[in-house]
Structure 1
Amino acid sequence: MSHADTLDDLSAELGSLILRHAPVDGDHEPALPGVTLHRHGRIRDLPCCLARPSLVIAAQGAKRVEIGGFSYEYNASHCLVTTLDLPVMSHVTVASAQAPYLCMAVALDLRNITRMMAEMGQPAPATSPLGRAIGVSRLQRPLLDAAVRLARLIDSPADAPYLAPMVEREILYRLLSSEHGPRLRQLAARDSGSSRIARAVEWLKEHYQQPLRIDELSQRLNMSVSTLHHQFKSVTSMSPLQYQKQLRLHEARRLLLARRLDVGSIAMHVGYESPSQFNREYCRQFGAPPLRDVQRMLTMHENLPSPTTQAVAT
């Protein structure tokens, strides 16, 4: 590739690769570990999902991600980086049948980040978290160039096992050298505030159906209750209780869309003792009671692939 290739040239190439390997709307996993492709041919709200730690680059169109009262918008000129599992709502804001929203998500591996930090001689981060576990920045050409080279390997499955790890190392190097570096270093540092919040997130994901006892969780993390609250909200934009509630409601919506259980059974399954409380919180979160919301979603997306909370929020 010529060094003269511009961001527009690179975005156009990435878009053509995504179009070829994502021929219909939805999420697509090519034979390249850690890479997911997304395509949507119209403006729409997407099902709630759990955003995995990832780098997200849009080749065409635009999208807005919402969490904890904050919005993050990105397009072909910006990239999105998440460093923790975050329950988010997302909306495709620029797309059409002729020019669909196209993006590629690259999973970020904590172990690889830690190794790259050591090789780069990165300084130890501050003790307290430096910011939220999600952010948008202007997309720089070297990062996009590396992402395009990674996407090309979808067409070269014999080369991918040998070349993909090298390109992924370059992507991590570019991210650690960018404004996203501090949040990545915080996550990788063993005793940093963000790494403790990462452990709290893992515990909440595994025990979201159980009553949340903040004092027990703070003891598990060797943190005071006030410090846990402050740092958790600093990183995730919500309190531990709000995070748990988001996990419960997102899982409830997924089960409702799958039409496997009735509303009352789903409320109990995700940890609610009171169906009326479940209905109130569901309506507050999604703007309509459970059955009405699900009918609206099914009508809106009846011709689209079935949603899943395991998809990366891209």
Structure 2
Amino acid sequence: MSELIHKQQEELAEIIEQYTIDDGSHQTAIPGLFFSRYSHAIGPSHGVHNTSLCIVAQGKKEIWLAQERYEYSPTDYLITSVNLPITGQVMEASPEIPYLGLKLEFTHDQILEVLRNSDIATVSKEKTERAMYVNRINSSMVDAVIRLVRLLDSPEDIPVIAPLFIKEILYRVLQGQHGGMLKQAVVQGSSTYRIRDIIEHIINHYNSSFRSEELANLANMSVPSFYRHFKEVTAMSPIQFQKQIRLQEARRLLLSESTDAADVSFRVGYESPSQFSREYSRMFGFPPIEDIKRLRVKA
């Protein structure tokens, strides 16, 4: 890491620490901007990662997408272009040097606006890339991020100035080595755009059964082409994707409601409680009831 970026990350860490007294994820006054602070290594945690930029100012984190591992630290940034079920873990953190990071969510309209107002080259509609990547950070991007987060000290400026800084950050990302991946997700008619629609369909209908032919028709692709593009974007098959969404929702229901595992298994779309229990244990490491008891004790 260059001396300039090191100093920038120190300033960014100071601002995040100022606005995160307690451990956890904290929504800021800037729409779409979240700060995270953790005093101990934690994980694994499960969730759906949406279109966003993630930066670590202090510490280290890893993300698992299916069987692929993405590690990032203050020298890197992580970009996700579509909604993806992931497993995350904070790897380096202590009370003296807590993990400090941020997440900036983007809308597809914001990305399209930057593309319309710039001379960034278009990409082939048929090219498909993984919808998550880690790239080396540069001082121009960190500088834009710092100017954005400084606005928290002058909230009256946020409505007018924050959108301008967010456009600049997006511009830097789109100019980066893997910027084409982000473009693909918003270019209507591209393979990634069509897979993005299917991803939303699966998330919204996670408890329904479907056949590959039905999803391929929705994507206006042949079955082999659809299957190949879906796996290229998400690193998993449509069935594996749906399974992760189902199990994450099952865990949420078990934590938030007083209900039994069999009832939840049917609600999220399983026909067999025993199959549900096996797949739940495989994903989370414990059978449903044992897992929920463990999580409640931790809380």
Q: For the superposition of Structure 1 and Structure 2, which TM-score range results when normalised by the shorter chain?
A: over 0.9
Q: What's the offset of the Cα at 1:283? A: 1.1
Q: Distance in 2 between matches of 1:174 and 1:186?
A: 16
Q: Which residues in structure 2 correspond to 1:1-314 (within 5 Å)?
A: 6-299=4-297, 301-302=298-299
Q: What's the offset of the Cα at 1:5? A: 7.5
Q: Which amino acid aligns with 2:184?
A: Q
Q: Distance in 2 between matches of 1:103 and 1:83?
A: 19
Q: TM-score, normalised by structure 2?
A: 0.96
Q: Distance in 2 between matches of 1:110 and 1:116?
A: 10
Q: What's the offset of the Cα at 1:174? A: 0.3
Asked if the contact 2:128–2:229 (Cα under 8 Å) also holds between the matched residues in 1, the reply is no
Q: What's the offset of the Cα at 1:13? A: 1.1
Asked if the contact 2:125–2:187 (Cα under 8 Å) also holds between the matched residues in 1, the reply is no
Q: What's the offset of the Cα at 1:260? A: 3.2
The SS at the match of 1:188 is coil
The SS at the match of 2:173 is helix
Q: Which amino acid aligns with 1:284?
A: R
Asked if the contact 1:130–1:186 (Cα under 8 Å) also holds between the matched residues in 2, the reply is yes
Alignment root-mean-square deviation, CA:
1.4
Q: Which amino acid aligns with 1:182?
A: G
Q: Distance in 2 between matches of 1:257 and 1:129?
A: 41
Q: Which amino acid aligns with 2:45?
A: P
Q: Which amino acid aligns with 2:70?
A: Y
After superposition, give the CA deviation of every residue in 1:275-303 in whole Å (9 maximum; x if it has no partner): 0110111111112211122223333x32x
The SS at the match of 2:123 is coil
Q: Distance in 1 between matches of 2:118 and 2:242?
A: 36
Q: For CA contacts below 8 A with separation 6 or more, give which structure has more relative contact order.
A: 1
Q: Distance in 2 between matches of 1:129 and 1:66?
A: 24
Q: What's the offset of the Cα at 1:121? A: 2.8
After superposition, give the CA deviation of every residue in 1:221-247 in whole Å (9 maximum; x if it has no partner): 211111111000000000111100000
Q: Distance in 2 between matches of 1:115 and 1:166?
A: 11
Identical counterparts, % of pairs? 37
The SS at the match of 2:270 is coil
Q: Distance in 1 between matches of 2:257 and 2:7?
A: 44
Q: Distance in 2 between matches of 1:94 and 1:227?
A: 41
The SS at the match of 1:124 is coil
After superposition, give the CA deviation of every residue in 1:240-273 in whole Å (9 maximum; x if it has no partner): 1110000000111112222432111111111111
Q: Which amino acid aligns with 1:258?
A: S
The SS at the match of 1:28 is strand
Structure 2, unaligned runs of 5 or more? none
Q: Which amino acid aligns with 1:275?
A: P
After superposing the two structures, state which structure 1 stretch, 122-131 or 266-275, moved more.
122-131
After superposition, give the CA deviation of every residue in 1:155-197 in whole Å (9 maximum; x if it has no partner): 2110111110110110011011101311011112101111011
The SS at the match of 1:90 is strand
Asked if the contact 1:282–1:290 (Cα under 8 Å) also holds between the matched residues in 2, the reply is yes
Q: Distance in 2 between matches of 1:250 and 1:243?
A: 11
Aligned pair count reads 298
Q: Distance in 2 between matches of 1:130 and 1:217?
A: 18
Q: Distance in 1 between matches of 2:59 and 2:233?
A: 28
Asked if the contact 1:286–1:293 (Cα under 8 Å) also holds between the matched residues in 2, the reply is yes
Asked if the contact 1:125–1:192 (Cα under 8 Å) also holds between the matched residues in 2, the reply is no
Asked if the contact 2:53–2:103 (Cα under 8 Å) also holds between the matched residues in 1, the reply is yes
Q: Which amino acid aligns with 2:260?
A: D
222 and 130 in structure 1: CA distance in 2 versus 1, 3 angstrom threshold:
closer
Q: Distance in 1 between matches of 2:201 and 2:235?
A: 18
